[in-house]
Amino acid sequence: MPRTIATGRIPVKIWADVVEPGAMQQIMNLADYPFAFHHIAIMPDVHEGFGMPIGGVMATERVIVPNAVGVDIGCGMIAVKTSLTVITRKALEQVVSEIRSVIPLGFSHHKTARDMRYMPDIEVKEMPVVEREFESARHQVGTLGGGNHFIEIQQGDDGHIWVMIHSGSRNLGKQVADHYNRLAISLNKKENIKGTWEKQLAYLYLDSDEGQRYIREMRYCVAFGFANRTLMMETVLELLDFYVKGRVEEVDRIAISHNYAAEEEHFGRKVWVHRKGATPAFRGMRGIIPGSQGTESYIVAGKGNEESFSSCSHGAGRVLGRRQAIRHLDLQGEVQRLEKKGILHSIRRKKDLDEAPSAYKDIHRVIDQQRDLIDVLVELAPLAVVKG
């Protein structure tokens, strides 16, 4: 159950027991935001972001806020349950090696443009940024990226081998986000409403040409994120099928986004719900909450709790910033922790410690803090992890 802070213009409902000072300041900025509706919802994986904390949910009237969606528009998850029930260490090693060979990681892109069939089937009309970046995006579709993005092969407590991928809209989403945030700042400075652009929460009016263009381009980026993950998933499943004796079939598939804004009805009003690092959790809707590369991940079903605007966490959430983790964590200790569990992990050098398990909150605690938002359907233990 959430705790409530009622000192702002609207209340804040927080599902986290500890919130870092920087994130708390951003939360209170949201509570005083002039266009925010009803209350602010903060998920248990909350940590400081840019303008709005990651793990935040804000509903607005009249405006849409680019920084409340974030720079990786359409970032999300895909998970596939396979017909496999066991996989050998040798097959895992072969699949991981091949993934690193055929799927570009980090800042890498495909050297040649991918076929148009892999791009979203949406006409690029009145989308100036998408149109400008379209050919570059054809080289980016089917690529993982860096940071907390991953490809993971997992063992489910349902007895099946799963594949899970976390990635977003790559540079396309960032270009769209940056363009419209800059545009919003320039427009907001003229209006100068307190607590908006100077708090990194610049807005665009929904009924403006600028606001409608952002919505079109944001939706395209969400679709591109789905296309990106889908292409990578096809590649991984083909590799599994090649290296494992016996045909590997897809039994089930779940796909969600956790960085987007959408028009929804809540508390009797149509509003725009911004989810920045928050997973939709409408009643009966299945979602994905990953842990770190050394801990479990979860397939969940939403309970449709209105207090969270039908949302839940999108992961474990960071407890250490990237630079903090690199400075303070012990490389040998983190590697031993992963190898003791038999996980094929992605920590090789000191700089990889930004994605070490100790850089993240306890996923079991995060799940427990939101039992009123979700039911756990499947627990997934990591077997092999690929990161950029």
Q: Which residues are catalytic?
A: 314
Rounded distance, CA 231 to CA 223, Å? 12
Q: In the beta sheet, which residues pair with residue 302?
A: 374
Locus of tokens 């849409």: 64
Closest CA to 171 of 132, 131, 137: 137
Instruction: Indicate the SS3 state at residue 350.
Output: helix
Instruction: Indicate the SS3 state at residue 154.
Output: strand
Rounded distance, CA 79 to CA 163, Å? 6
Instruction: Indicate the SS3 state at residue 309.
Output: coil
Per DSSP (E only), the strands in 218-310 are 250-257, 259-266, 269-276, 278-280, 286-289, 297-302
Asked if residues 292 and 360 have their Cβ atoms less than 8 Å apart, the reply is yes
Residue 161, both tokens: 């081998």
Length of the chain in terms of residues written: 388
What residues contact residue 289 under an 8 Å CB cut-off, 6+ apart? 279, 297, 298, 300, 312, 313, 314, 315, 363, 366, 367, 374
Q: What is the DSSP letter of 147?
A: T
Closest CA to 126 of 198, 22, 215, 192: 215
Q: In the beta sheet, which residues pair with residue 235?
A: none
Residue 2, both tokens: 């959430």
